[in-house]
Amino acid sequence: MAVERPAAQALEDSLGLGAGERAAEALGQFLACYPTNKAMQRDTPRRMLRALDEMTDGYEQEPADILSAQFTAPSDDLVILKDIEFVSLCEHHLMPFAGQAHVAYVPDQYVVGLSKLARLVDCYAHRFQMQERLCYEVAVALVAHVSAKGAACVIEATHGCLSCRGARKQRATFITSSMLGAFRSDGDLRREFYAAIQLTHTRI
């Protein structure tokens, strides 16, 4: 299956020029609408494009590939990785939102390396996102590629579009959860997961 390329590269292609010339030119014209200096209009557009490519490199990654290296599970006891820091871009205002993700699954014959769980979060976070969808996509990928028994994801984050504009609430924290399979049907399992992540996060 074809993987989407970074937004900046797609913009370059749609404008018909390589190396980001037209994209950088358009961003320079945008900055010229403000009383910015010439150096900013000249140098900032390319920095923006490089930053945008870096922050959207999740489009170049496949969750199935990230989770492909698996090992025989020693048991079917709950597996949790919490406090996975991430930064993403809100698709509505293109402003960053950042926080921590807590993911869990019930092994179904196999487990994956802990770093793969962190990479999975980044894979989806490094795309234009909504927090609700990010949470769901991580849980779905775990069910699809690691454990059909069930998976869960809880995300707590602060959003630039809430803290820097609009309501301007700097300390407001947005919490989302996605519970699939056994986590939805088994209340004890769900409570065990919440209890584990509350050891350091009393707001949940």
Euclidean distance between CA atoms 133 and 127, whole angstroms? 11
Nearest CA to 149 out of 62, 39, 75, 51 is that of 75
12 carries an active-site annotation: no
> Per the residue annotation, which of 91, 109, 164, 198 is the catalytic one?
91
Catalytic, out of 92, 109, 132, 164 = 92
Under 8 Å CB-to-CB from 169, ≥6 apart: which residues? 162, 163
54 is catalytic: no
Is 93 part of the annotated catalytic residue set?
yes
Examine the residue annotation and report whether 159 is marked as an active-site residue of this protein: yes
Q: Is 145 a catalytic residue?
A: no
Amino acid found at 60: E
- For the chain, the straight-line distance linking the first and the last C-alpha, in angstroms and rounded, comes to 38
Buried b (16+ CB within 10 A) or exposed e, 157-176: bbbeebbeeeeeeeeeeeeb
Q: In which region does residue 168 sit, left (phi positive, over 0), alpha (psi from -120 to 50) or beta (all else)?
A: left
Which of 93, 100, 192, 201 is labelled catalytic? 93
Question: Could you confirm whether 92 is annotated as catalytic?
Answer: yes
User: Whose CA is closest to 151, among 174, 130, 181, 191?
Assistant: 181
Catalytic hit among 131, 137, 153, 156 = 131
Exactly one of 90, 123, 135, 153 is catalytic; name it: 90
Q: Is 33 a catalytic residue?
A: no
Tell me the catalytic residues.
90-93, 131, 159, 161
